[in-house]
Structure 1
Amino acid sequence: MKKEVIKIPANIKYLTEREKFIEEFGKPFELPNGILNKEIPGCGATTVALTDEHKTIICSPRNELLKNKHEQYPDTLLVIGGVDTKEIEAYLQTAELPKILVSYDSVYKLIGCIKYKSDWRVVVDEFQCLLADSSFKSEIELHFLDNSRSFPYVTFLSATPILDKYLEQIDYFKDMNYYQLDWEEKDIVRVYRERTKNPINAALEIVRYYQNGNYPSVYVNGERIYSKECVIFLNSVNNIVNIIKQTELNPEEVNIIVGNSDDNDRQIARIGEGFKRGRIPLKGETHKKFTFCTSTAYAGCDFYSTNAATFVISDCNRPNTAVDIATELVQIAGRQRLACNPFRQFLTFVYNVNAEEVEQEAFNEHLCRKVNVTLDEIRDNNNAGEALRAKRIKDFRRIPDNVKYQDSYTMYDEQKGEFVFNRLAYVNEQYCFDVQKFNYQNGVIVKKLLQDSSFDVSENQTYAVYQEQLKHLIKKEPFVDRMQAYCEYRAKQGLIVNLAMSTLESKYPELRYYYEALGADRIKALNYKEKKLLNEIHIMKTKNKIRHELHGTIHIGDRILTTDIQQTLRVVYDRLGIDKSPKATDLNEFFEIHPVKIPTANGRKNGFEIRGIL
């Protein structure tokens, strides 16, 4: 892959500034033939495609993005489901300089309508979605890539393209020219990161704060400005529906931006009368207090609110629903377009981590097994007798898209008439694993990735009016006070208190250690005093050492004489240097025990039966 860096000087803010480009480079900016990493969103690359002197096809994975661009540029032709070739041909005959907005799965309609393709250019907007979406629609994307080969000049465009290690595994991309824009001056987006077990509860808290008029605010030139609108990005329509129902929002307050599907419409109808899919308001149009979006609006859509704050709620239950924070946060942060909105510089990211942790080695073994199954399956299917082969083709077509590549990467290629290896699905699984494993589970890498994407994640954030946060930053409190406050924050789980809690953790990291080791109830019982907490932790560690020693020698089902138990405990205590007289009942702290009479040569004697491990 041949790479070229294009440095954009500080005086240029947008790729559409023709005169400045002519002054700096001798010509206006031109979208290249190959991959263009524009580095930052909102720099005008798509606008170049819509306004330059070339016949252009702009392809997008998101219909809402296409609709949004079509509303801004009504002279374009929008080609999505329901648009037929007659409409395309009529447009091509009348348009002086045709600009066509088309979804990935409708590009095939253009192939036959455009006879001379050499004077056309194709722009694939937000092309990172080719990989991110391929767990459930890779066949559409593979056909789209095949169709794009009909055009000699194609620009694959994204603010954050897929990492090289993925691109180089896909034959279509590995030999393509790669252009990287390097902007001398970048806007900094400050990101609050909050990792929680239940991100949806955090979303509920955000909505409730806005409902109650507790608006976040910032100071601009000494004036306090409030965010009275918010845009909340979530993984699923179901999450949006549940949040709206639980908070009892009214239709007049809510704009729901999700994909156009019957299933989505049915889910939204569950909320109640008056709720329906919405659209992104154009510049100058009124925005509602609450805008809820799924991935439909992650990429390329523009918001023109004067005061909306942005929240990203990532409920990451499965790897292929993970939000890639190295790419999607960049996309989301760039969606607020108005410079007069001070909250466009901030983003709050609330996320969790899948409890099922898979090590890299185990994952690699899983991939290897799945590849071997795929190769065997492809060979067997293609070599099967005519009747059996026809059945397997029919079986494959019946598999739902969302589970089609769960057990193998086998795909039936309709054009070739044979079973093949779906490399896009294979690469997608690696991509999703990396997102889940590294971007979410490792805070250091989270921070590094955000910094690489021109985000500011420094501790000196400027959401400065949260007074609970400021109180702990500027005032040195006794240990008892800050420990008590920290326990209260952990119990409340609200957005503002979470921000204050993160400040306390940064300044006093021992608070989190005590809380996670002992829990709020035990800390309260010890009157929040550090000396008592340290002593309690020492006792816990000692008990854990004793437990480890005993579990190696005493087992469930054992019936042990009292004297033998005392002797075993004496050996353990001596080995650990514990000055304590052993009692058989000490076992109560480590095992579930029951008193019994045990027959011996000298008659029945007292003892205990081990019935469980504590």
Structure 2
Amino acid sequence: MKNEIKKQIIKAPKQAKYLSDFLTDLPKGIFNKKQTNVGGTHLALTHPENYIIIAPTVELIKNKVENQANLPYPVFGLYADVPNSDFREYIRKNEVHHIMVTYDSLPKLIRWLAALDIDAYTYNALLDEYHLTLLTMGYRERAIVGMMEHITKFSHYTLMSATPVADEFVPQVLKEMDYTEVEWENNLILKPQRIRTPNPYAVAANIIEMYKEGEIWLDVDGISVQSEEGFFFLNSVKGIKNIIDRAELTPDEVKIVCSDTLRNRETLGSEFKISGSLSENRKFTFITSKAFEGSDFFSQTGVVYVISDAKRKHTLIDIQTQLYQCAGRIRTESNPFRTKLFHIYSTGYATQTKDDFDKEQQERIQHSKVIIDTQNKATKEIRLAYRPRLSKDLESDFILYNEEEDRYEYNEIKEKFAEFAFNLTNSIYKNGLALRKAYSEAGVDAGDEGYVYADEFDDQDFIKSVSTSSFKDLLIHYCHLRDMQLLYDERELIKQYEREYPKFKYYYERLTSAEISTCKYVERALDEKIYSKSPQVKNAVAKEVFLAFKLNLFYSLKDAKQMLKDIYKKVGSKASAKSTDLSAYFEVENTARRLDDKRVDGLVLTRRK
């Protein structure tokens, strides 16, 4: 039987605000500090012994290095492109070493220390925001696996987070570690408020427009207080640019904190520059996952908005972990909105059932074990040939290579990541009720109703005022514009509709306005209608009609309709069957017969068309 996590509880004194108020060192093993902004990393950076702080992002390292003026020991940041000569100079000048390093650069740090005859494993080690080892496994597998191979070799190591991953997704290797948790007397209670919408980006643009008009007033203990800055957490640079364009923002209104890559620069365009978290505030700050954890922002009246678009999996936020991290990023204690957070989200794009996932997962587990067994029994040449498949991410199985022992092993962390990712994309964001359940399981009160739009929140007027028009309303307006004689401005509006909703043009050019109206402007019904009118379906229906119906025979209208209904079902069409549909295939003579002394209306097919 697998071990369950056994927790040791540390009760913080009633007046304690920071870990340093009652701890002198971080506990060994997993450390759940339960709250952000309580000085966990600070405790390591002020410790009198050598410390290696392993951080998930370069942004977090730069944030701490740039704010080290009040620290007792100099801090060195090591990540890609940092020269070895700078590192050697730091080691030479300082007796106490506090080194912050990314997952990727930890093996390099160990090598550099060894070159100076220093055993890195004699240092204390802190893996900061350790929950990200699971959350980022999908695109940082090699860095995380390499880092985890080293972490337990240190003389004293701590895996710290304010928001650990739920127990069911924790790998067994972590469950076997010591686990310490802090109980705080004065918990900072997060008050998230959900805005469910078909178009999260449009809602964000509406919020920005309200900021421009000075209309963001929120309730704080019964008093209406104005917010003058918005912090938008969205893990999509394309999504950020979409919102900027919708809201017609200018560069002097915007601060964008994301990875400084050519791709992101190209997406944002030459006008909009990428900033660091500590750069000068603007009215609107956009933040990708680069700064979800560990980076500090300061604002007297800023409000956090977290955006999750179910159509784009990389934008989904885990309620148990990342939501809390986003909420804790504004550090200004006098900010009256520190406990407030608006989660703007869409739902309903699950693509796989739980049973199908479980079946697929078991197949991957078994296949992985077969590959591991086969490779470990193979010749050295074959094992060597197989290794690049792992380093180049050509395998989706749960396999890792142990370089020290020259053998393949099972990668449980990757298995747990697959389970976590499925739960996030196909369960939590399946619908509003499922999301509410996720809030509840994370210990967050998110209201009584899971899938209402606004009426469960304190700030009802605000939420209602930023809600977007429905798909139906927008399509009705678009069709109206297309049907009428247009002025120049209206033609421009049509183009804007078609940029944001390409399907509108697709529907209008394939269906008549009357047909669109008959479908009640419902997206699924419109897609079904177009499918039914496709050449492939038409040809299949015609073939079946000519086989089923005979010339010069009488068919009651009821029978003709049922026969057509059966044909449509057979070819997969959801079209509504009508006896008049036969006129597309035959010359039809409407008539009546007496059957069983009753008049029966019907038709005779006289000739094929």
Same fold (TM over 0.5): yes
Counterpart for residue 12 of structure 2:
8
Matches within 5 A, 1:353-368: 353=347, 355-368=349-362
- 1:161 to 2:164 alignment: yes
Q: Quote the Cα distance in structure 2 between the aligned partners of 1:204 and 1:91.
A: 47
| Distance verdict in 2 for CA 1:423–1:594, change over 3 Å | same
Using the TM superposition, give the Cα deviation of residue 209 of structure 1 relative to its aligned residue in structure 2, in angstroms: 2.9
Contact 1:57-1:120 within 8 A present in 2 as well: yes
Using the TM superposition, give the Cα deviation of residue 361 of structure 1 relative to its aligned residue in structure 2, in angstroms: 1.2
Query: Residue 194 of structure 1: SS of its match in structure 2?
Result: strand
Using the TM superposition, give the Cα deviation of residue 311 of structure 1 relative to its aligned residue in structure 2, in angstroms: 0.9
Counterpart for residue 137 of structure 1:
140
Paired letter, 1:217: W
Cα RMSD, aligned residues only: 3.9
Q: Quote the Cα distance in structure 1 between the aligned partners of 2:288 and 2:8.
A: 34
Counterpart for residue 194 of structure 1:
195
Counterpart for residue 436 of structure 2:
447
- 1:235 to 2:232 alignment: no
Contact 2:554-2:604 within 8 A present in 1 as well: yes
| Distance verdict in 2 for CA 1:392–1:141, change over 3 Å | same
Query: Residue 38 of structure 2: SS of its match in structure 1?
Result: coil
- 1:593 to 2:581 alignment: yes
| Distance verdict in 2 for CA 1:392–1:228, change over 3 Å | same
Q: 2:41 aligns with which of 27, 42, 46?
A: 46
Counterpart for residue 427 of structure 1:
416
Paired letter, 2:186: E
- 1:372 to 2:371 alignment: no
| Distance verdict in 2 for CA 1:422–1:562, change over 3 Å | farther
Q: Quote the Cα distance in structure 2 between the aligned partners of 1:396 and 1:592.
A: 61
Paired letter, 2:346: N
Q: Quote the Cα distance in structure 1 between the aligned partners of 2:278 and 2:580.
A: 64
Paired letter, 2:417: N
Percent pairwise identity = 28
- 1:293 to 2:287 alignment: yes
Q: Quote the Cα distance in structure 1 between the aligned partners of 2:105 and 2:46.
A: 22
Residue segments in structure 2 that go unaligned for 5+ positions in a row: 449-455, 476-515, 522-543, 563-574, 594-601
Using the TM superposition, give the Cα deviation of residue 319 of structure 1 relative to its aligned residue in structure 2, in angstroms: 5.0
Q: Quote the Cα distance in structure 1 between the aligned partners of 2:405 and 2:348.
A: 39
Q: Quote the Cα distance in structure 2 between the aligned partners of 1:201 and 1:259.
A: 24
Contact 1:562-1:607 within 8 A present in 2 as well: yes
Using the TM superposition, give the Cα deviation of residue 124 of structure 1 relative to its aligned residue in structure 2, in angstroms: 0.8
Q: Quote the Cα distance in structure 1 between the aligned partners of 2:229 and 2:134.
A: 32
Q: Give the number of aligned pairs.
A: 499
Contact 1:450-1:457 within 8 A present in 2 as well: yes
Using the TM superposition, give the Cα deviation of residue 291 of structure 1 relative to its aligned residue in structure 2, in angstroms: 0.8
Contact 2:206-2:247 within 8 A present in 1 as well: no
Q: 2:338 aligns with which of 337, 344, 347?
A: 344
Q: Quote the Cα distance in structure 1 between the aligned partners of 2:282 and 2:93.
A: 38
Structure 1 stretch 439-448 or stretch 223-232: which is displaced more?
A: 439-448
Counterpart for residue 184 of structure 2:
183
Could you report, residue by residue, the CA deviation over 1:135-178 in whole angstroms, capped at 9, with x for unpaired residues? 111111111111223312111111111222222x342x131011
Query: Residue 419 of structure 2: SS of its match in structure 1?
Result: helix
Query: Residue 343 of structure 1: SS of its match in structure 2?
Result: coil
Q: Quote the Cα distance in structure 2 between the aligned partners of 1:377 and 1:608.
A: 65
Q: 1:127 aligns with which of 126, 130, 133?
A: 130
Using the TM superposition, give the Cα deviation of residue 248 of structure 1 relative to its aligned residue in structure 2, in angstroms: 3.1
Q: Quote the Cα distance in structure 1 between the aligned partners of 2:140 and 2:246.
A: 32
Q: Quote the Cα distance in structure 1 between the aligned partners of 2:579 and 2:25.
A: 74
Using the TM superposition, give the Cα deviation of residue 437 of structure 1 relative to its aligned residue in structure 2, in angstroms: 3.0
Contact 2:191-2:444 within 8 A present in 1 as well: yes
Counterpart for residue 205 of structure 1:
206
Q: Quote the Cα distance in structure 2 between the aligned partners of 1:222 and 1:320.
A: 37
Query: Residue 593 of structure 1: SS of its match in structure 2?
Result: helix
Using the TM superposition, give the Cα deviation of residue 371 of structure 1 relative to its aligned residue in structure 2, in angstroms: 2.4
Q: Quote the Cα distance in structure 2 between the aligned partners of 1:233 and 1:73.
A: 26
Query: Residue 19 of structure 2: SS of its match in structure 1?
Result: coil
Paired letter, 2:204: A
Contact 1:306-1:340 within 8 A present in 2 as well: yes
- 1:302 to 2:258 alignment: no
Q: Quote the Cα distance in structure 2 between the aligned partners of 1:228 and 1:266.
A: 29
- 1:62 to 2:57 alignment: yes
| Distance verdict in 2 for CA 1:490–1:40, change over 3 Å | farther
Q: Quote the Cα distance in structure 2 between the aligned partners of 1:424 and 1:591.
A: 60
Counterpart for residue 274 of structure 2:
277
**TM-score of the superposed pair, with normalisation by structure 2:** 0.72
Using the TM superposition, give the Cα deviation of residue 314 of structure 1 relative to its aligned residue in structure 2, in angstroms: 1.2
Using the TM superposition, give the Cα deviation of residue 565 of structure 1 relative to its aligned residue in structure 2, in angstroms: 4.4
Structure 1 stretch 134-143 or stretch 421-430: which is displaced more?
A: 421-430
Contact 2:165-2:320 within 8 A present in 1 as well: no
Residue segments in structure 1 that go unaligned for 5+ positions in a row: 22-27, 470-484, 494-519, 526-554, 571-586
